[in-house]
Amino acid sequence: MFDVDLDSYFIAPDPKMFDEPMYKRNEDNQNEINHRAAHVKRNAAASCPAEIDASVEFISDYESYLKVLDVSASATISGYGQTASASSSYLDKSRFASNTLTYMAIINIKKQINSGEEFAFNTNLYSNSSFAKTFGDRWIRGKSNWHFYTTPQPEGKADSHVGFQMGAKLVARVSLTAKERSNQEELKATAEASLAFWGVSGQVNTAVTSSMEKLNKQAHVKVDIFYQGEIGKQLQGQSASTSGDQQPAQQVFANAKSWADLFLTEACKHNYKYQALLDEYPNVKGFPENQAVLDYSTAEKVSYRVLSELVKISELAQVLRKSKVLNQADGDQILWDELKIVEACKTWVQNTAATPNNGTETAKELIKLFDTAFYAKWRPRLKDIKGDLTVQNTTEFVRVWDDRGSGASRGASFWLPRAQGELRPLGSVGVANYDDINSHFTAVLVGPTPGKTPSKPVVASPVGFNRIWRDLWSGANSDGSFWRPTAPEGYKCIGDVVQNSWSEPNKDAIWCLRDDLVKPSAYESPSLWDDKGSGSAYGVHVYNVQPRSDKRLNVLRAFSDPDPDKNIASQLIAPSGANL
Chain segment 7-24, per-residue pLDDT in tens? 888 999 999 999 888 776
Residue 30 lies in a domain: no
d(CA 279, CA 571): 57
Question: 502 with 475, same domain?
Answer: yes
Question: 243 with 305, same domain?
Answer: no
Question: 155 with 256, same domain?
Answer: yes
pLDDT digits (tens, 9 = 90+) for 511-562: 999 999 999 998 988 899 999 999 888 899 999 998 877 678 999 999 987 8
d(CA 296, CA 135): 13
**240, 263, 294 — which closes off a domain?**
294
Q: Provide the pLDDT for residue 197.
A: 86
Question: 18 with 44, same domain?
Answer: no
Nearest to 460 by CA among 499, 442, 486: 486
Residue 470 lies in a domain: yes
**385, 413, 445 — which closes off a domain?**
385
Residue 580 lies in a domain: no
Q: Provide the pLDDT for residue 32.
A: 43
Residue 578 lies in a domain: no
Question: 447 with 374, same domain?
Answer: no
Residue 211 lies in a domain: yes
Q: Provide the pLDDT for residue 290.
A: 78
Residue ranges, the chain, pLDDT below 70:
1-3, 24-48, 81-90, 97-99, 112-118, 122, 139-165, 179-182, 228-247, 272-278, 550, 566-567, 574-580
d(CA 564, CA 546): 14
Question: 201 with 213, same domain?
Answer: yes
d(CA 402, CA 30): 52
Question: 115 with 161, same domain?
Answer: yes
Residue 91 lies in a domain: yes
CB atoms < 10 A from the CB of 428, how many?
A: 30
**344, 366, 385 — which closes off a domain?**
385
Question: 431 with 564, same domain?
Answer: yes
Question: 14 with 63, same domain?
Answer: no
- Our count of domains for the chain comes to 3
Going by C-beta distance under 8 Å and a sequence separation of 6 or more, which residues neighbour residue 279?
138, 139, 140, 141
For CA atoms 7, 13, 14, 20, the dihedral sign is positive
Residue 577 lies in a domain: no
Question: 422 with 446, same domain?
Answer: yes
d(CA 401, CA 560): 19
Question: 97 with 159, same domain?
Answer: yes
Domain hosting 83: range is 35-294
Q: Say what the pTM is.
A: 0.63
Question: 287 with 302, same domain?
Answer: no
Residue 93 lies in a domain: yes
d(CA 485, CA 494): 9
